[in-house]
Amino acid sequence: MISPETTTVTTSYTTFDSPLGELLLVGEESATAPGGAALTSLSMPQQRGVTVQPYWRRDPGPFAEAVRQLRAYFAGERTRFELAFRTAGTEFQERVWRALEAIPYGTTTTYGRLADVVGLPRGDVRALGAAIGANPLLILRPCHRVIGADGTMRGYAAGVERKIALLTHEGALQPTLI
């Protein structure tokens, strides 16, 4: 964990009410990012390991563009995000996260197919699942689009019910009628 004593980078955050609940957006100052902050995290309610740190500054200003794009996504008007990210994963995690960005809106892929894309032997799919589970940018790097080979909804950091809601929103799943 980075503490205020070990960094001079300003970390800001804001929240955004979405159809999935309140989203937490976190970013670090960046001279090149729109609004002045590169996103480092987008998380959802009840997601483990994500808490506001006392040295973070609450400031919605740097996130105006991210919020605008998220609103357009939830309104069905946007299928891709064009935002600055700054994540700190391992080389393998970053490679997996970049591969997630290539999964088109309204589609799904399997863990096995994604393993092929990143050049991972299918026997190492657990490592792939762990990298996907560590994705700090839910929705933006669409890990919700990765499903089991048999069509089942495997884990999702914010809960499988939110994964289903996102895939239904994107048209990859049909709504359940009761």
**Residues designated catalytic:** 143
144: buried, middle or exposed (CB in 10 Å: 19+, 13-18, 0-12)? buried
Q: What does the block give as tokens for 126?
A: 């657990």
Nearest of 28, 33, 45 to residue 88 by alpha carbon:
28
Q: Which DSSP string do the residues of 97-139 spell out, in sequence order?
A: HHHHHTSPTT--EEHHHHHHHTT--GGGHHHHHHHHHT-SBTT
41-to-5, 29, 61, 128 alpha-carbon distances in Å: 21, 13, 16, 20
Q: What does the block give as tokens for 178?
A: 């009761």
Nearest of 55, 47, 75, 57 to residue 137 by alpha carbon:
47
